[in-house]
Amino acid sequence: MASRYYARARPRSETTLRTESLLARYPDLSAQEVAELIELFPSLPILDRGLMTADETLSRNLAAFERDHGSKLRGAGAPLLWFFAFPVILVIGVAWWLLA
């Protein structure tokens, strides 16, 4: 299957270009380059991640990278989200129980 061209609304950032160049060579990266890729990846815009996933060549390397280093790619926001979501869910549950 041939690669498709996806139109972009804006030019790619330096972060995106560097991430794509590292992903294109993954897993043949030095430990320093892998650390750089782990540091860059969470700051990528969601559109650029989606376009990398749609790219036939990058998607294979991206899947391998996420499989190998996925636990390090999670942002710090997930625990914070649960910290704020838990009380809200608890209040809704108590209100539901009291009103039922």
Res. 5 pLDDT band, cuts 50 70 90: low
What ranges do the domains of the chain cover? 14-74
Write out the two tokens for 76.
């710090």
Query: Does the pLDDT at position 14 exceed 60?
Result: yes
Write out the two tokens for 2.
């041939």
- Whole-number Å distance between alpha carbons of 16 and 11: 10
Task: Choose between 1 and 40: higher pLDDT.
Answer: 40
Query: Does the pLDDT at position 32 exceed 90?
Result: yes
Helix H, strand E, coil C: the string for 32-97 is: HHHHHHHHHHHHCCHHHHHHHHHCHHHHHHHHHHHHHHHHHHCCCHHHHHHHHHHHHHHHHHHHHH
Mean pLDDT of the chain: 82
- Report which residue type is found at 14: E
* Structure confidence by residue, pLDDT tens digits, 52-86: 888 888 899 999 988 888 777 765 556 667 777 88
Res. 6 pLDDT band, cuts 50 70 90: low
* pTM higher than 0.75: no
Res. 23 pLDDT band, cuts 50 70 90: very high
- Whole-number Å distance between alpha carbons of 73 and 65: 10
